Structure 1
Amino acid sequence: MLEEQGKISRVREVKLKERIMGYSVSPARSGEMAQVQYMGATSTEDGDLHIKYLEGFPQTILSMIDEGITPADIKSMVVLISHDLNAKVYINELEVFGYVHVKAKKVDKGQALKKDDISGFERIKLGDIEFPDDHAYFCVLSLGWDKAYIFDFSPLDDQSSRKIEYDVEKFIGSYFSYLSFKTIHKISDSDWDQILKQNWFPFFSLKFSTIESIINYVRAGWDIDDLINTIEIDTLEHLQNWTPDWKKDEGLAPFVDFLERAIERHKSEDFISSTSIIYPKIEGLIRQEFIKDNPGKEGRRQNMLVEHITEKTQYTLSSLTTYIPDRFKRYLEECYFKDFIASSQNNQVSRHSVAHGASSIEQYGKKESLVGLLVFSQIAQYIKQSSNKSSNTDAASSAGS
């Protein structure tokens, strides 16, 4: 795509006078040990620290370019530094491409994308720039009203022969995902505890505005159940969009038949039936995926099923997307697979309480039905996205062989 456009990024070259090691993150006197950050990223949410970083090495580079460029002029800036301190500098002319995970059912060419249309960035491509593994780098990139600063100076260390052993474009993409959806990624541990205690989760199927409302309700100490009508609208709309696609998938199709029946029962407000239908099929769907990847095993251990579906998803999709498989692992363990008290009929509806008849009829309401539909949808999307990523990887390997 870049070659077809034929645009080559303009490069400026300067020679650094001193070797950059990183940023001190702790005060120290002469002779004392200091902690140095040689790799990382900041944005305006980091306040004065972010400004201090930008006023350091980026400002030094700008002062070496006799073109009258000021910090206010910077939209994008990429600097690559070789071990002999020669630096290549790219400013503003860069075409910045974000490769995103599409959440919308369809995206047309030229369409203005909203947060609800994507779930995160896979990578960021900066014009025709390549990042050599033996070069240090830093980038100043605009994202909306924010500016991200991403850096790694480790290859300049004279005491080692360090090289960059990760995909820089993916690293930048992950940070863009974080900044784009930091409402989700900055949920505190105490707020996570409260969300799960109320048996909710920032499910992938929900609109971002609804997820923000869930988080705000928790922070205000309000009951998330008060949002149930909004959550229901989001859920049924997502299922309407995606069920036809899942039905074309050979692995998902047999489960979608049950899903459609559960949706029909939910719409008829027969929540006992919809819940009883969908909860067992969720475990069956996870188990099928486990057995597919582990032939010869039966997948009877639920902790193994949970680890497999979430870790497989995390391997193919960054935790900084809105899929957040690392967090969903805890939800499955503490909510969907929640244990029950055998002597009580007041158990929260879960896979175990449904299977063992350990919840009273009053526990089977709209919320429990919706949670089942949302969990099924989350697992189905994990499977589809993991499959898509594997297919793309296989295709790329075949093309390169």
Structure 2
Amino acid sequence: MKFIDEKESWLNEIQTNEKISKHFSFIEKALNYHTGGDYDASIHILYPRIEAILRDDFIRANPEKEGRRQDALSEHLQTNITNHTHNISRLFPEKFSQYILTNFFKDFDVRGENSFISRNTISHGFVDSTAFTRKSSLIGFLILDQIQKYTKISTNFEMKDVQKFL
């Protein structure tokens, strides 16, 4: 698997991304659990961390707000983080934002069977143990990779915007 084979390079990208780097030790630990086959531990570390990364960037762009609403964090992907991304990339910010809202932040039924992993099923303990799979763990890393690409692009735009005023 290419992702695992190139994990050191990927971790370096995370560590050097100023908008994500403070979460590096958690991400590295989650990846070590993932590669060791402990998907339960990987998911329990990674999914809350993804929300924290989204919240950090949201608050950075909106210092007057708390960043508690998950729909606002999802919308932030499409607007503030990826404001110019669709012009230079195939990373489709609108589709990704919708995916984050409908899948990553998917709600759960307290009386029903919840056999899917989402940030909400993890934090509220409403998920069947059979859902902690390699695929669910890998999806978390793919989401994080996409966010890493967006934040890197937005940082480059911010730097260029600052440069024109110097």
Q: What is the alpha-carbon distance in structure 2 between the residues aligned to residue 349 and residue 283 of structure 1?
A: 14
Q: Counterpart of 2:31 in structure 1: which amino acid? A: I
Aligned with residue 383 of structure 1, among 125, 148, 151: 151
Equivalent residues in 2 for 1:262-277 (5 A)? 262-277=30-45
Q: Which has the higher contact order (CA 8 A, sep 6+)?
A: 2
Does 2:67 correspond to 1:304? Answer: no
Partner of 1:278: 46
Q: What is the alpha-carbon distance in structure 2 between the residues aligned to residue 354 and residue 249 of structure 1?
A: 26
Quote the offset at 1:319 in angstroms: 5.4
The 3 A distance-change label for structure 1 pair 307 and 362 is: same
1:227-281 deviation line (CA, Å, top 9, x unaligned): xxxxxx2332454323213213443222121111011000110000001110001
Partner of 1:372: 140
SS of the residue corresponding to residue 349 of structure 1 reads: coil
SS of the residue corresponding to residue 359 of structure 1 reads: coil
- Bigger share in strand: 1
1:270-312 deviation line (CA, Å, top 9, x unaligned): 0000011100010100000011111131101111111112212
1:320-372 deviation line (CA, Å, top 9, x unaligned): 72211111011111110111111134331100101111111111000000001
Q: What is the alpha-carbon distance in structure 2 between the residues aligned to residue 235 and residue 248 of structure 1?
A: 18
Q: TM-score, normalised by structure 1?
A: 0.40
Q: What is the alpha-carbon distance in structure 1 between the residues aligned to residue 24 and residue 161 of structure 2?
A: 27
Q: Is the Cα contact below 8 Å between 1:258 and 1:281 reproduced in 2?
A: yes
Q: Counterpart of 1:351 in structure 2: which amino acid? A: R
Larger Rg, first or second structure (1 or 2): 1
Partner of 2:10: 242
Q: Is the Cα contact below 8 Å between 1:344 and 1:358 reproduced in 2?
A: no
Q: What is the alpha-carbon distance in structure 1 between the residues aligned to residue 77 and residue 143 of structure 2?
A: 12
1:116-146 deviation line (CA, Å, top 9, x unaligned): xxxxxxxxxxxxxxxxxxxxxxxxxxxxxxx
The 3 A distance-change label for structure 1 pair 397 and 261 is: same
Aligned with residue 352 of structure 1, among 108, 120, 123: 120
Partner of 1:361: 129
What's the C-alpha RMSD, in Å, of the aligned pairs?
Answer: 1.7
Q: What is the alpha-carbon distance in structure 2 between the residues aligned to residue 378 and residue 236 of structure 1?
A: 16
1:168-191 deviation line (CA, Å, top 9, x unaligned): xxxxxxxxxxxxxxxxxxxxxxxx
The 3 A distance-change label for structure 1 pair 355 and 244 is: same
Q: What is the alpha-carbon distance in structure 2 between the residues aligned to residue 319 and residue 392 of structure 1?
A: 16
Q: What 5-or-longer segments of structure 1 have no aligned partner? A: 1-232
Q: Counterpart of 2:38 in structure 1: which amino acid? A: D
The 3 A distance-change label for structure 1 pair 320 and 244 is: closer
The 3 A distance-change label for structure 1 pair 319 and 335 is: farther
Q: Counterpart of 2:116 in structure 1: which amino acid? A: Q
Quote the offset at 1:397 in angstroms: 3.8
1:139-164 deviation line (CA, Å, top 9, x unaligned): xxxxxxxxxxxxxxxxxxxxxxxxxx
Q: Is the Cα contact below 8 Å between 1:306 and 1:332 reproduced in 2?
A: yes
Q: What is the alpha-carbon distance in structure 2 between the residues aligned to residue 349 and residue 246 of structure 1?
A: 23
Equivalent residues in 2 for 1:89-100 (5 A)? none
Q: What is the alpha-carbon distance in structure 1 between the residues aligned to residue 84 and residue 5 of structure 2?
A: 26
Partner of 2:162: 394
The 3 A distance-change label for structure 1 pair 319 and 361 is: farther
Identity %: 30
1:367-388 deviation line (CA, Å, top 9, x unaligned): 0000011111111221111011
